[in-house]
Structure 1
Amino acid sequence: MIEDATTREETPVGLPSRSLLSVAGLVAGATLLSKGMGFIRQALIAAVYGSGPEYSAFGVAYILPGFLLILLGGINGPFHSAIVSILKKQRDPATDDPARWLESISTLVGCLLLLVTLGLWWGAEWVVRLNAPGASPEVHALAATQLRIMAPLALLSGLIGIGFGALNAAEHYVLPALSPLISSLAVIGILLALGWTGIPSLIAWGILVGAVAQWLAQVPLQIRLGLGRPRLRFEWGSPQVRAVGLLMVPAVISSGMIHINVYVDLFFASFVPGDRTIGNLGYAQLLVQTPLGILSNMVLVPLMPLYAQLAGDGARWPELRQRIRQSLMITAILTLPLSMLLVALAEPIVQVAYQRGRFTAEVTQEVAALLMAYGLGMSCYLLRDVLVRIFYALEDGATPLRISGIAIGLNALLDFLFLRAFGAPGIALATAGVNLVALIWLGIRLQHRLQGIPWLEMGRSLLPLLGITGLAGGLSGWLWNHLRSLQLLGSPLLTAMVWSSLAAALGLGLFAVGAFSLRIPEMDWVAAQIRNRANQVLSLLIRKLNRSRD
């Protein structure tokens, strides 16, 4: 399906074929379902634990296991990207049996990560004190217990990431996109059954059970597709294993450095009095990461195999340059209006999402301030991620590695300065600043590698689009501030839902009108595809209605 998409000229500007769009739609639908369940999970956690020491302790304990689960087991992570790149470039699948080297990679990675698992379990107290030195003794004790429970995530994350990379290379996208749904269901089930007890470690047990289920869910499909099975194989000297290792090691270190910034943020957050900022950062990050995860999978999952194919053939680099423009422009078009809404309507978004049970109005104000700061850097985060994956497709993990290493130091400096100047929201602003610097630097390095990328053309479209975004966001915020005092049926929740929805509709409508007026090819093409899909759905409904009448 992907191969066909790269050999047909279906649009004059090099935009994705219908098959590529179908993959993006399929992945987006599955990811939306997973993220929706993740939001329900987080809302339940907020109601049960609020923003007290229990949830902050989980945030401290989850730093390393969660870091490994996202880094190694996540879609578009380095394990996933490396496996996709090597499998898509494999010249002769008939002689280069993928099952053998995939099993060898799994064995090698499993042995290494088993040592990490044992290290996390043994050194739990030391790890949590290093993660959050400014937290209270109560938070440290709770966090150490939860870290021991979640230590096996280190081993499971590697197996999950390798399996999902193999499945995506075989053009099976739904299961990897639905995988987080399994984890969320495990946490929700445990909280619904035992949340009334208030036991702090319930979330940790739910995360562990969910990770085991994620791995087990992919095994039958891998076996059926001939992509290996759970068994030990020690053929670590094969060309494919070496190729994956050469790409994976710098990619892991590079992506790991990006996630180390999360640790740096929590390190500084632990010194904010009250043991609440760590938990509040987690609540705000989920509201940003939910739409980002959906958009990331829409853009990167179908395009990553395509990037790998185009990058492997120098004669096809002109098409690669066009695909780079396409992915960056679509990413900006999709993220800017979401960023606008998160900044302009942060308070009602947090209120509707979390404010119930132990999550009070005071906590809503604190999380809303963090959400606004994260929203400012939302577009830079995903645009940077797109560029990093292009370097991986070019089998260049060194450039993102160097930039990520310097970004860690910059993040620590900005955290220190901005925390003193702006309080807790300064941590989120520092993240936005680091992503912006990394984005610019990656763009400069990519231009040196692939000369001819139409940066000026993109800039002429994006600058007025930024202005339109700011205007639409300002009007949305103005409308919300004028309507919020008009209580509906005496319900603050209903009031926030109705008036913020109206303000959001106004902002999105203004953004759409302004964006269409700029005549951006990607905007026109996406709109045309949406209209075509809507017409197809409408025609299908009409046919079914006519059949039922007959």
Structure 2
Amino acid sequence: MKKTVLILIIISISSKIIGFVRDIVLSYYYGISFVADAYLISTTLPLTIFAFVGVGIATTYIPLYNSIENDFGVSEAEKFTNDVVNFILVLCSIIVIIVLLFTVPVIKLFASGFNNEVLDLTVSLTRISVFGIYFTGLVFVFKSYLQIKNNFVIPGLIGIPSNLIVIASISLSGAFGTRLLAIGSVLAVFAQVLFLTPSLNKNGYKYRMRFNPKSNHLKQMIKLALPASLGVSVDQINVLIDRTIASNLIIGGIAALNYSNRLIYFVQGLFVTSIATVFYPRISKMLAQNEKVGFKKSIQESIIGMVLLIIPSAIGLMILSKPIIEMLFGRGAFNSQAIKLTSSALFFYSLGIVGVGLREILSRVFYAMQDTKTPVINASLGMVMNITLNIILSRYIGINGLALATSISATFTTFLLFISLRKKIGPFGMKQIFISFLKILFASLVMGLLAKLSFNYLITILSHNFSLIIAIGFGAVSYFVIICFMKFKDVDVIVGAMKKKIDRMINQGTNKTL
């Protein structure tokens, strides 16, 4: 598992770097303008509406597929997959019709602060971008199917072609019109489906025009997916709520939240998603085969492995939020006011990044056990808290209050999930997890202090960007050294693998010389 996670992290780095280029291009051409706000709402809205159901379906699909394959064989599981694909296509058609008929009231609901000019542009873009949910829905299922087949590399790479298409559409939109922004978003998800198709065929999947809406397996999945949809989509729902209130606070507030959120998602995509992607199919199969000991051990390893990577990232983002935003986005239409708004939002979002990451892991444990009730109750509490805190905090600290509210609600709901899981499955190494958490937090704080001090010194003699890169590198090395002295098992495995690789390279070089 550790080796696969490491490969996914490496793949994610390449994909996320290109994703950052996409955001940098958007910030260069449109900054935190009303065009950026309209574009972000038009692409986020259809995806979020579909995610209420689509993500829930994809989440419940994996454990059900494993269960069907284990009880009835591969053939029955493949029939189930076709039923799911056709069900999603029908569902997407219904959603597209609803959005096309009620575009204006839907946008007013989620962006009530938009004036006529921004509203008209958002409506125009949304009526194009909504067709992308057909391909988004297919990607949800196809990625899950390949992960079941232990193919994690190809699903991890799909962000590369899609981001390249979005970058091209943003760059050309100035010459060919803003509608190209929405067209690019649709073509981007279509490219993901094309990218996955060869691997699907190689793993034996064949699409058939057969749909059995009365299938017991499909009914079971829908029953589980309805509550799971809310639980899995809580982050997207909260993002929409944040953007709705931000549209009433300041022009460009939605864009500022988006750019800061992109950095948070970058860290989550590298570490949390990479771990969860491998972890979820694995524990689902363990439960299907009744391997309780391995199930609990996997939970503990995944949590410790995740916080080992995400806590230092959170500390780094908080301490160096302004110089990071300035280096990434500080050019073109992205002025000093944009840097100030975005960096402060990044600081407050970073406070909750650990909570969001842990919630992602813990929620998947419940879904693997086909318990969708606990996460949905948890998600409902989180949304209520987030909305309440949004209203209160935004009055005092503006869009920073929206980011802080998200962090507080994420941390609180994660704490509740830990309690619920302990009650449901019994001990799963909480003492070891807590000890590891304290050690990692200490090492991360030391790392953050050293990175900040080195940046403050280097900027007096070097350029801003070069100073920041060196400071981040120095902080990362110091963190790794501290963790090594603390004797973490996961780090020992990585170090051992690196030593073996170096020894092998040296031996090969010696043999060639001889």
Same fold per superposition (TM over 0.5): yes
After TM superposition, the structure 1 = structure 2 runs for residues 132-211 of structure 1, keeping only pairs within 5 Å, are 132-192=111-171, 194-197=172-175, 199-211=177-189
In the other structure, the counterpart of 2:192 is 214
Aligned equivalent of 1:240, options 192, 209, 217: 217
Match of 1:462, as an amino acid?
F
Contact 2:70 2:288 (8 Å CA) reproduced: no
Residue 282 of structure 2 is aligned to residue 306 of structure 1: yes
- Secondary structure of the structure 2 residue equivalent to 1:97: helix
In the other structure, the counterpart of 2:240 is 263
- Secondary structure of the structure 1 residue equivalent to 2:70: coil
Aligned equivalent of 1:528, options 493, 504, 509: 493
Distance 1:535 1:435 in 2: 40
Runs of at least 5 residues in structure 2 that lack an aligned partner in the other structure: none
In the other structure, the counterpart of 2:476 is 508
In the other structure, the counterpart of 1:41 is 22
Distance 1:180 1:296 in 2: 16
CA deviations over 1:316-349 (Å, ceiling 9, x no partner): 2222222111111111110011111101111111
Classify 1:188/1:546 alpha carbon distance in 2 versus 1 (closer, same or farther; 3 Å): farther
State the TM-score, normalizing by the size of structure 2. Answer: 0.93
Contact 2:307 2:440 (8 Å CA) reproduced: no
Contact 1:146 1:201 (8 Å CA) reproduced: yes
- Secondary structure of the structure 2 residue equivalent to 1:160: helix
In the other structure, the counterpart of 1:223 is 201
Residue 431 of structure 2 is aligned to residue 466 of structure 1: no
Contact 2:154 2:199 (8 Å CA) reproduced: no
In the other structure, the counterpart of 1:382 is 357
In the other structure, the counterpart of 2:34 is 53
Contact 1:183 1:213 (8 Å CA) reproduced: yes
In the other structure, the counterpart of 2:76 is 97
Match of 1:306, as an amino acid?
R
After TM superposition, the structure 1 = structure 2 runs for residues 445-484 of structure 1, keeping only pairs within 5 Å, are 445-484=420-459
In the other structure, the counterpart of 1:394 is 369
In the other structure, the counterpart of 1:539 is 504
Classify 1:68/1:179 alpha carbon distance in 2 versus 1 (closer, same or farther; 3 Å): farther
Point out the more displaced range, 243-252 or 91-100: 91-100
Contact 2:83 2:218 (8 Å CA) reproduced: yes
In the other structure, the counterpart of 1:323 is 298
Distance 2:249 2:328 in 1: 24
Classify 1:68/1:213 alpha carbon distance in 2 versus 1 (closer, same or farther; 3 Å): farther
After TM superposition, the structure 1 = structure 2 runs for residues 265-414 of structure 1, keeping only pairs within 5 Å, are 265-273=242-250, 275-314=251-290, 316-414=291-389
CA deviations over 1:340-396 (Å, ceiling 9, x no partner): 110111111111111111112221121111111111211111111000000011110
Residue 393 of structure 2 is aligned to residue 418 of structure 1: yes
Matched residues, number: 513
1:198 to partner: Cα distance: 7.4
Contact 1:59 1:279 (8 Å CA) reproduced: yes
Aligned equivalent of 1:249, options 213, 216, 226: 226
1:511 to partner: Cα distance: 2.9
CA deviations over 1:80-122 (Å, ceiling 9, x no partner): 3322212223225646433322111111221122110121122
Classify 1:101/1:529 alpha carbon distance in 2 versus 1 (closer, same or farther; 3 Å): same
Contact 1:27 1:297 (8 Å CA) reproduced: no
Point out the more displaced range, 83-92 or 280-289: 83-92
Point out the more displaced range, 402-411 or 318-327: 318-327
Contact 1:51 1:279 (8 Å CA) reproduced: yes
Contact 2:51 2:233 (8 Å CA) reproduced: no
Classify 1:402/1:526 alpha carbon distance in 2 versus 1 (closer, same or farther; 3 Å): same
Contact 1:48 1:195 (8 Å CA) reproduced: no
Runs of at least 5 residues in structure 1 that lack an aligned partner in the other structure: 1-19, 489-494
CA deviations over 1:239-286 (Å, ceiling 9, x no partner): 43233223322211322344211111111111113x111001111111
CA RMSD after TM alignment: 2.3
Match of 2:480, as an amino acid?
A
